[in-house]
Structure 1
Amino acid sequence: MAILEGASSLRVGNDAAQAEAATVAGIGAISARLDRLPATRAVWKLILLLSLGFFFELYDLLFTGYVAPGLVKSGILTPTTSGLFGTSGVASFVAALFAGLFVGTIACGFLADRFGRRAIFTWSLLWYMAANTVMAFQDTAHGLNLWRFVSGMGIGVELITIGTYLSELAPKHLRGRAFAVCQAIGFSAVPVVAFLSYLLVPRTPFGLDGWRWVVLLGGISALFVWYFRRNLPESPRWLASKGRIREADEVLARLEEKVAQQYGKPLPQPGPAAPVPRKARFADMWQPPYRKRTLMLIVFHIFQTVGFYGFANWVPTLLVKQGITVTSSLLYTTVIGLAAPLGPLLGYWIADRFERKHVIVCMAAINIASGLLFSQASAAVMIVTLGVLLTLAGNIISFTYHTYQQELYPTAIRARAVGFVYSWSRLSAVFSSFVIAFMLREFGVTGVFVFIASAMALVIVAIGLMGPRTLGKSLESISH
C-alpha cells in the first residue's frame, strides 16, 4: 500500500514538473515570437490605441496646474496657506491627486497582474472619468479634494497598466520607440488642456465656471477610448505567465497573421528563446538582482517627481506670483505646453540608440540648468524659451523611465513591482507640493527652483551609479 502511495506521489510530482517545464518553454516561445515581429501597421495600431488612453490619462493628470488659477479666482482655494499642511490652498488640491495616485499604484497595482492588462485598462479609465465628473460640480475645498483623491486612485492604476501593457506588446527592437510615440501622443494633452484653460478658465460659459468645463471635457472625450478598447487583445506574455499557453498562442497567432499580410513576405524566424526567470513572487523585489533595482527606483521616483510636477503643476501659479496676470500666465503656459509632445518625438530618434540611464542623467542636468535660469527670467521670450527646455527635458525623462522601469522586473510581478516603486513618486508629490508652496511663500520663485535642482541632482546620482543597462535586450533576459 505504501509503495503504491509512493508511486502515485512520484507520478503527481513528475506531472507537476512536466507541466511547469511546458509553461516555461511556452513563455520563452511566446516571447521570442513577439520580439521578432516587424513594425507593421498592426503592431503600431495597438501602440496607438494604448497611446490614446494615455492622452486622456495625462489630460486628467495635468489639468491640475492649469485650472488652479480658476479655483483661486472662484474662491474655492487660496494660492498659499498660513500653515505648511493647510487644506484650503492649491497645494492641498495637488496633494489630494497624488495621495490618490499613491494609493492606486501601491495598493491596486496587483489588479493588472491578477485580472489581466485589458480588463484593468478599461475599468480604471471608467473609474477616474466618473470621479472627475463628480469633482467638477464641487463648491468646497473639502469636496474638491475628496473627489480629486478618488480620481487619482483610478489614474494611478491606469498609469501602471498602460506601461505594463505596452512593454509586453511591443517587440524588443521597437520598445523604446513605442514608449516615445505613446508619450508624444499622451503629452499632446498638455497644449490641449493649456489652450482650453486659456479659453475657459478666466470665463464662465453658460454661467458655469470655466475650470469646470475643462474637467468635464476630458471625461466626455475619454469615452471614445472606452469604445475603441474592444480592438485591444490581452497581453500574450501575461496569458503565458498564468499558464494559459493555448490562449496566448491563439492571441499571438491572430496578430502574426495580420502582421504577415502587411509585411508581404514570410515573418522572420523567432530567435532562441530567452532564459525565463523562475516564477517570481512580489517578495522577490528584495532579492538579487531586483533589490538594487528596487532601491534605485525608489530614490529616483522620490526626487524625479519634484522636478517634473514641481514645474508642470505650478508654472501658472509661479508666473502669477512673479506679477504676471492670470490670462498672460495661461497664454505663456499654452505656448510652453506646445513643446510637451515634442520631447518624446525627439526621443523617438534616440530611444533605441542610447542607453536609457544615460538619457535620464543628461536630461536631468538640462532640467537643473534651465530651472535655475527660469527663476531669474522676466522677459516673455526667456520665460517661454526656458519653459520649453524644461518641458522637453522633463518629458524625455518621462518616456525614458516609463520604458526603463518596465524592463527591470519579470512579467509575473511587473505591474505590482512597478506600481510599488512608482507609488513613491506619488507619496513624494503629496509632500513636495506643500514644500513648494512653503518655499514659494518664504523664498519666492528662486527658492522653488533651488529645491527642484537639488532633487534632480539626486536623480542623477541614483540612476548614474545604480542603473543597469537594458538597451536591445529581451524582457526575459533583463529579468533573468
Structure 2
Amino acid sequence: MNRIPVVTRSHIKWAALLTTLLFFDMADLNALAYALPAIRAEWGLSLGEVGIATSATFLGMFCGSIIGGRLADRFGRKRVIIGATAFFSLFSMLTATATTVTELSIYRLLTGAGLQALVVVLLTYAAEMFPRQFRGRVQALMLGVSLLGVPALAFFSRWVVPLGTGSWRFVFIAGSAGVLVVILAWLWLPESPRWLEGKGRIEEAEKTVLLLEREAEAKWGGPLPEVDTVPAPIPASKPSDLIRQGLLRRTAVLAIGYGFGLIGYYGFNAWLPLLLTETGLTTAESLTYTSILSLAAVPGALIALLFIDKIERKWAVMMLFVGMGLFMLMFGFGSGAPMLLTSGLLITFLAFASTTCIYTYMPEIFPTHLRALGTGTANGIARLMAFGSTFILAAILGSLGFTAVMLFLAIAMILAGIVIGLLGERTNNRALEAISSLKSQEPTKVPANATATTRVGEERI
C-alpha cells in the first residue's frame, strides 16, 4: 500500500462514493441550525430549551464517535460506513415528525451518533486506502465537494422554511437522503487491506492490493517503486492500549485541541442564525446571511489543495485556527452588514480549510488496530466539550449578549491552534506505520521483484 505512487482508477471510484456519503452527512449536520429559528418561533422555546436541542446533537456525536470507532476496529470499516449512513438517515427522517422539544432532542441525539460514526470511520478508511503522498489532497477534494451539501441545504432551507408553519420539517427529510447511496457503497467499497491484514485475512487483503498494483503499474508506465519497510506496526491487542503512554498523549492533545476548535466552530456555525436574530434581523434575513456565508465553505476546503501535502499539517491547523479566532473578534466587535459579511465569509473560509487539515490529520496518528477507536475517542471527547459549551453559550448570550459570545468563541479558537501546533505529531507524507510507531526506526529496502505475498508478510502493509 505504501509503494503505490499514483491515484488509480479504483481510488477515484471510491473517492467519488465516499464524497457522496459525506455530502449528505455535511448537509444533515447543519439541518438543525437552519430549522431552529422557525422551530423556536413556532414552539415558543426558551434559550435554555434551544441549548438542550442543540447540545443533543453533540452528545450523540460523542457517543457515535467512540462506538463507531470501536465497531470499525472490530468488525471492519465498510460495514460501519454502511450501517452509520442508514442509521443517521432513519433518525433524521424521524426528526421531521417531532412535536416536542424532547422528541426533537432524542432524534437529533441519535442522528448525531450516526453522523459522527460515519465521519470517523470514513476518515479512517480514506487514510488507509489512498497513497500517502496524496492523502491530504484526496481528502481536501472529497471534503470540498461534499461541502456543497452545506450551501445546498442552506438555500433549500431559505426557500422552504418561510413557506409556512411546519415547513422546517422538509429540511430534515432532505438531510436523510443519504440512505439512497447505501447500496452502491455495499457493492463498490472493498474492506481496508490494512484492517484485513490485522485480522489475519491476508488473501482478502491481497486482492485489493494486487488490484491497486495492476492499475498503478498501467498508469505509472512501468514497475512500481521499491518497497520502503517501516517500523513494525504496534501489535493488535486491547482497546486499553489507547492509554499507553505515547498514545495517551496523542489522544489528549488531539481531543483538547480539537475540542476548543469545535467550541469555536460549532458555537459560530450552529448558533449563527439565532445569533443574527438577536442583533435585530428577522428569521428570513438571518437565513439569507447564513446562506451567503455558507458559500465560502467549498472554496475554503478546496484551497487546502494548495498546501495540505506541502506544509506540516499541525502547523497549518494552528495558523488556520488562530486566523479564525481573529476574524471572530472582527465579527463580534464590528458593526454593519459589510463587516458582518466580510468577517463571516472569512471565518467560514478558514473553518473549512482547517476542517480539511484536521480531518486528514486525526486518523494518521494512531496505529491500524486502534485507528478508528483512537480517532473516535479524541473526536468524541472534543464533541463532549462542544456539548458542554452550548449551555455556557446560552448563558452568555442571555446575560451578556452577542459580542460576549463572539469573544468567548475567539478565545477558544486561538487556544485550539496553540495546543495542536505546539504539542501535535508530525504526519506529512509519512507512512502510517511510521507515524504510529512510538520509536524511530530506519527504513530498509525490500527487492522490487518480491512477490505480493512476501511484501505483505514483510512490510505488514
**TM-based fold match above 0.5:** yes
Alpha-carbon distance, 1:267 to partner: 4.7
Alpha-carbon distance, 1:106 to partner: 2.2
Identity, in percent, stands at: 33
CA contact (8 A) 1:113 1:412 kept: yes
CA contact (8 A) 1:36 1:270 kept: no
Q: Which moved more, 1:459-468 or 1:352-361?
A: 459-468
Q: Distance in 2 between matches of 1:381 and 1:49?
A: 39
What is residue 73 of structure 1 aligned with on the other side? 41
Alpha-carbon distance, 1:259 to partner: 4.0
Q: Distance in 2 between matches of 1:332 and 1:151?
A: 26
CA displacement, residues 423-471 of structure 1 (integer Å, 9 cap, x when unaligned): 1121112111111111111111111011112212221221122112111
Q: Which moved more, 1:270-279 or 1:320-329?
A: 270-279
| Equivalent AA in structure 2 for residue 251 of structure 1 | T
Q: Distance in 1 between matches of 2:317 and 2:349?
A: 12
- Find out whether 1:277 has 2:233 as its counterpart: yes
What is residue 299 of structure 1 aligned with on the other side? 256
Alpha-carbon distance, 1:305 to partner: 1.0
* Counterpart mapping for 1:4-15 below 5 A: none
Segments of 5+ residues of structure 2 without an aligned counterpart are 438-461
Alpha-carbon distance, 1:45 to partner: 2.1
- Find out whether 1:342 has 2:299 as its counterpart: yes
What is residue 442 of structure 2 aligned with on the other side? none
Q: Distance in 2 between matches of 1:67 and 1:238?
A: 39
Alpha-carbon distance, 1:279 to partner: 0.9
Q: Distance in 2 between matches of 1:363 and 1:143?
A: 37
Q: Distance in 2 between matches of 1:376 and 1:46?
A: 45
| Equivalent AA in structure 1 for residue 207 of structure 2 | E
What is residue 128 of structure 2 aligned with on the other side? 168
CA contact (8 A) 1:37 1:267 kept: no
Segments of 5+ residues of structure 1 without an aligned counterpart are 1-30, 82-88
What is residue 121 of structure 1 aligned with on the other side? 81
- Find out whether 1:132 has 2:92 as its counterpart: yes
* Counterpart mapping for 1:191-210 below 5 A: 191-204=151-164, 209-210=166-167
Distance 1:174 1:264, change over 3 A: closer
TM-score between both structures, scaled by the size of structure 2: 0.91
What is residue 374 of structure 1 aligned with on the other side? 331
Distance 1:122 1:352, change over 3 A: same
Alpha-carbon distance, 1:268 to partner: 1.8
CA contact (8 A) 1:101 1:152 kept: yes
Q: SS of the residue aligned with 1:375?
A: helix
Q: Distance in 1 between matches of 2:423 and 2:120?
A: 23
Q: Distance in 2 between matches of 1:176 and 1:479?
A: 17
Equivalenced residue count is: 435
Alpha-carbon distance, 1:260 to partner: 4.0
- Find out whether 1:92 has 2:52 as its counterpart: yes
- Find out whether 1:143 has 2:103 as its counterpart: yes
- Find out whether 1:474 has 2:434 as its counterpart: no
CA contact (8 A) 2:216 2:224 kept: no
- Find out whether 1:244 has 2:204 as its counterpart: no
Q: Distance in 1 between matches of 2:67 and 2:90?
A: 20
Q: SS of the residue aligned with 1:209?
A: coil
* Counterpart mapping for 1:92-111 below 5 A: 92-111=52-71
CA contact (8 A) 2:364 2:432 kept: yes
Alpha-carbon distance, 1:255 to partner: 3.2
Q: Distance in 1 between matches of 2:220 and 2:62?
A: 46
CA contact (8 A) 1:59 1:190 kept: yes
Distance 1:76 1:475, change over 3 A: farther
Alpha-carbon distance, 1:193 to partner: 1.2
Query: What is the aligned-residue RMSD (CA, Å)?
Result: 1.6
What is residue 12 of structure 2 aligned with on the other side? 44
Q: Distance in 1 between matches of 2:364 and 2:95?
A: 36
Residue number among 23, 28, 31 corresponding to 1:60 in the alignment: 28
Q: SS of the residue aligned with 1:341?
A: helix
* Counterpart mapping for 1:401-416 below 5 A: 401-416=358-373
Q: Distance in 2 between matches of 1:194 and 1:270?
A: 48
| Equivalent AA in structure 2 for residue 69 of structure 1 | P
CA contact (8 A) 1:76 1:139 kept: no
What is residue 316 of structure 2 aligned with on the other side? 359
Q: Distance in 2 between matches of 1:114 and 1:413?
A: 9
Alpha-carbon distance, 1:42 to partner: 2.8
Alpha-carbon distance, 1:422 to partner: 0.7
Q: Distance in 2 between matches of 1:293 and 1:426?
A: 17
Q: Distance in 2 between matches of 1:105 and 1:336?
A: 28
Residue number among 99, 106, 113 corresponding to 1:153 in the alignment: 113
- Find out whether 1:183 has 2:143 as its counterpart: yes
- Find out whether 1:256 has 2:216 as its counterpart: no
- Find out whether 1:222 has 2:178 as its counterpart: yes
